[in-house]
C-alpha cells in the first residue's frame, strides 16, 4: 500500500519573496497628561475647543522589523486657556517582508498606524476621563486618505521646485 501525502496550500514556511505582514507587539512608549490651569479651569463655562494632531516615525531595530510610533496629541482649550493636553506615543513592532520599497512605505504609513490608532484612542479617552473631563471619543482616521494626501502634497512641492529651478535657469 502506498502512502499519500496531501499538502495543504499555505501551510509551512512562506517563500522568502512572498509578501508578509505580522504584528509582533503593541505597547505604549510614552504618555503624558497635563492640566496647566487646574483647578481654575473646572470653573470655566462653555464647550472646549479640541485640536487633534497626529505624527509618526519609523525605526528599524533589525532587518525586516519596523517599530512604528504613532503620536496622538489632543489639546483642549476653554476661554483661550488650555484645559488639558493629552499625548500618547503608541508603538508597535511589525515584521514586513516581500514588498518593494513603494509597497513597504505604503504599509508603514497606512496599515501600521491603522493598527495602532484604536489603542492610542483608548488611552487618550482614559486620560481625559481620569483628568475630570467628559469622555472624549476620537473618531476613526482614514490613514489611506491621509497618506494619499501627503503623496499629492509632496508631488506638488516637487513640481513647484522643478518649475522654480526652470525659471531661475532661464533668467
**pTM of model > 0.85:** no
Q: Per-residue confidence at 159, pLDDT binned at 50, 70, 90?
A: confident
Specify which residues 74 forms β-bridges with: 52, 86
Sign of the alpha-carbon torsion through 155, 160, 161, 166: positive
Mean pLDDT of 45-68: 94
Q: How far apart are CA 49 and CA 91, in angstroms?
A: 27
Q: Give 113-138 pLDDT, tens digit per residue.
A: 999 999 999 999 999 999 999 989 99
Domain ranges across the chain: 20-161
Burial class of residue 17 (count of CB atoms within 10 Å of its CB; 0-12, 13-18, 19+):
exposed
Please give the residue that has the higher pLDDT: either 158 or 26.
26
Q: Per-residue confidence at 8, pLDDT binned at 50, 70, 90?
A: very low
Q: Do the beta carbons of residue 102 and residue 34 sit within 8 Å?
A: no
Q: Per-residue confidence at 47, pLDDT binned at 50, 70, 90?
A: confident
Q: How far apart are CA 82 and CA 123, in angstroms?
A: 20
| Predicted pLDDT of residue 62 | 94
CATH topology of domain 20-161: Bacterial Protein-export protein SecB (3.10.420)
How many Cα atoms are found within 13 Å in the side-chain-facing hemisphere of 117? 18
**Rounded to 10 degrees, what is the CA torsion of 127, 132, 135, 140?**
-30
Lookup: cell for 79: 476661554
Mean pLDDT of 7-25: 71
Amino acid at each position: 500500500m502506498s502512502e499519500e501525502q496531501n499538502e495543504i496550500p499555505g501551510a509551512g514556511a512562506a517563500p522568502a519573496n512572498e509578501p508578509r505582514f505580522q504584528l509582533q507587539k503593541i505597547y505604549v512608549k510614552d504618555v503624558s497628561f497635563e492640566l496647566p490651569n487646574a483647578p481654575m479651569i473646572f470653573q470655566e463655562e462653555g464647550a472646549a475647543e479640541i485640536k487633534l494632531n497626529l505624527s509618526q516615525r519609523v525605526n528599524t531595530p533589525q532587518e525586516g522589523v519596523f517599530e512604528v510610533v504613532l503620536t496622538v496629541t489632543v489639546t483642549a482649550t476653554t476661554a483661550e486657556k488650555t484645559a488639558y493636553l493629552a499625548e500618547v506615543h503608541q508603538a508597535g513592532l511589525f515584521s514586513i517582508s516581500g514588498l518593494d520599497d513603494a509597497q513597504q512605505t505604503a504599509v508603514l504609513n497606512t496599515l501600521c498606524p491603522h493598527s495602532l490608532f484604536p489603542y492610542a484612542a483608548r488611552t487618550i479617552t482614559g486620560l481625559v476621563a481620569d483628568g475630570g473631563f467628559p469622555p472624549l471619543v476620537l473618531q476613526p482616521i482614514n490613514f489611506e486618505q491621509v497618506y494619499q494626501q501627503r503623496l499629492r502634497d509632496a508631488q506638488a512641492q516637487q513640481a513647484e521646485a522643478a518649475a522654480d529651478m526652470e525659471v531661475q535657469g532661464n533668467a
